[in-house]
Amino acid sequence: ETAVFQTPNYHVTQVGNEVSFNCKQTLGHDTMYWYKQDSKKLLKIMFSYNNKQLIVNETVPRRFSPQSSDKAHLNLRIKSVEPEDSAVYLCASSFGGGVAETLYFGSGTRLTVL
Partner 1 sequence: GDSVIQMQGQVTLSENDFLFINCTYSTTGYPTLFWYVQYSGEGPQLLLQVTTANNKGSSRGFEATYDKGTTSFHLQKTSVQEIDSAVYYCAMSSMPNYNVLYFGSGTKLTVEP
Residues that bind partner 1 (CB under 8 A): 4, 31, 40-45, 48, 50, 55-56, 58, 90, 92, 94, 96, 98-108
- 8 dihedral zone (left: phi>0; alpha: psi -120 to 50; beta): beta
What whole-number distance in Å separates Cα of residue 33 and Cα of residue 48? 4
